[in-house]
Amino acid sequence: MDYLFRIASPVFSKNTRVEITSHLEDDQIKRLILALTATILLIASRPAVGAPLVTADSAVLIEASSGQVLYSKNAYQPRPPASTTKILTALIAIETSDPEEEVMIGKRPTKVSGSILGVRYQQVFAMEDLLKAALIISANDACLAIGEYIGGDEETFLRMMNLKAFTLGARSSVFKNTNGLTNPGHYSSAYDLAMMARYALNNPYFANIVRSPRESLRSGQPINNTNLLLQGFQGADGVKTGTTNAAGQCLVASATRDGRQLISVVLHSRQRFVDSARLLEYGFQNWSEEVNLPAGGVVAVLPVKNGNPRTVEVVLTERLGASILKNSGPAVCELLLPRNEIDPLPAGSQVGEAVLTCQGQELQRVSLVTRQGSVPTSRLRKILYWKDF
């Protein structure tokens, strides 16, 4: 292998175990929103220099498109996640049921405390209403009802949750209930929650619910989102609040500007909305996506020695892209490919790698494979010869 190309990126160019806001009156919420909006505007008006100051004990900021970590503070430390748990509960329900399915409430959900919808035994809800209640007003009873319906019982659903979390790369998470109420063995990390939110936001149905500042249930009951960022932060489009005594103030948040989405997570924060606004603004103001090439994108054409066809296209096996700090110099994409002709190979054969660097630091390495297959011309002649008989 050898360097064939070296390309600069511009070429590509928490019975206080409840959601605090669920107990506030409308005028209190309005005052909070106004104060929050003023704080956010103040943050946005200042140019961010260096890493942001956050009160959270654990925090992370990632690029939604790639999962690249832009800021980290004890991000892999297992902590109580409170109601951010409901991201995973809702995600599994969305992937395994239909919004129109009718769910009959069992006895256990009617006994759940904290932030609740107020379900009654044998009452019937559309799955859509339970999902909205879980994600928008953080209803603990709705989550248990979802789990019992999808899994048949809570224990089975919890196995589904833990398996799903593991498949999404969440290695510091164990879920013991569907709603995040305090349990000594129930924990996650800022990074794991960011990975789960990143996956969930790719589901249009999930994304549509969590971006809504307010909604209505089919009964006509209005519900207001506990995520106050949706009221005043530019581009805010998710995701989920969480508050318990053990977890403190938690928030998984997301925002999109000019097609670019960032995801932040703060756990055990003293000012979750301010912390999240600082993180997201820091990401938008100080980092830029310099390279963004899709999986399957053609990056080169190689000649084939004595093969048919005589040339094959070379493609990326996964998305190639990274964000870099502004004014830190250009990102450089290096394609490590053979200098000379390659032998005939089947489609999907690895022929090199693409390496993305900035100031000598490797950001990403992606395999390069042949898009088409090729066969030796001598073999092709034999095949054509026998076809004539």
The pLDDT tens digits for 48-96 are 457 899 999 999 999 998 899 999 999 999 999 999 999 999 999 999 9
What integer best gives the mean pLDDT of the chain?
Answer: 87
Rounded Cα distance between 345 and 351, Å, is 9
Residues β-bridged to residue 288: 324
- Token pair in block for residue 56: 């959270």
Determine which of 19-28, 46-55, 356-365 has the lowest per-residue pLDDT on average: 19-28
Ordered DSSP codes for 77-117:
S-B--GGGGHHHHHHHHHHHS-TT-EEE--SGGGG--SS--
The average pLDDT across 140-160 equals 98
Length of the chain: 389
Average pLDDT, integer, range 23-32: 44
Predicted pLDDT at 145: 98
Instruction: Tell me the pLDDT tens digit for each residue of 197-223.
Output: 999 999 999 999 999 999 999 999 999
pLDDT value for 47: 41
Judge whether residue 229 has pLDDT over 60.
yes
Other beta carbons less than 10 A from residue 185's beta carbon? 8
Give residues with Cβ within 8 angstroms of 215, minimum separation 6.
132, 136, 209, 222, 223, 225
Residue 282 to residues 62, 101, 250, 273, 362: CA-CA distances in angstroms? 11, 42, 19, 14, 22
The predicted pLDDT at position 383 comes to 53
pTM tops 0.95 = no
Whether the CB-CB separation of 51 and 311 falls below 8 Å is answered with no
Tokens in use for 232? Answer: 């005043």
Is-contact 27 264, C-beta < 8 A? no
Residue range 356-365: average pLDDT?
88
Kindly provide the b/e burial profile for residues 358-388, where b requires at least 16 CB atoms within 10 angstroms of the residue's own CB.
beeeebbebebbbeebbbeeeeeeeeeeeee
Span 150-160, mean pLDDT?
98
Question: How much is the average pLDDT of 94-116?
Answer: 97
Percent of the chain with pLDDT over 70: 85
Q: Any idea what DSSP says for residue 259?
A: T
pLDDT for 32: 43
Of 70-84, 119-133, 176-190, 345-359, the range with the lowest mean pLDDT is 345-359
Residue-wise over 152-182: b if at least 16 C-beta within 10 A, else e? eebeebbebbbebbeebebebbbbbbbbbbb
Instruction: Examine the pLDDT at 296 and tell me if it is beyond 90.
Output: yes
- Mean pLDDT over 136-158 rounds to 98
d(CA 147, CA 322): 37
CA 12 from chain center: how many Å? 24
Structure tokens that stand for 3 in this block: 């360097």
Domains of the chain: 20-285 (3.40.710.10), 294-380 (2.60.410.10)
Confidence of residue 12 (pLDDT cuts 50, 70, 90): very low
Whole-number Å distance between alpha carbons of 76 and 95: 27
Determine the pLDDT at residue 289.
83
Alpha-carbon gap, residue 171 to 188, rounded angstroms: 9
Cα–Cα separations (whole angstroms), residue 121 to 90, 98, 113 = 21, 22, 15
pLDDT score at 327: 83
350 vs 66 pLDDT, higher one: 350
321: confidence class by pLDDT, cuts 50, 70, 90: confident
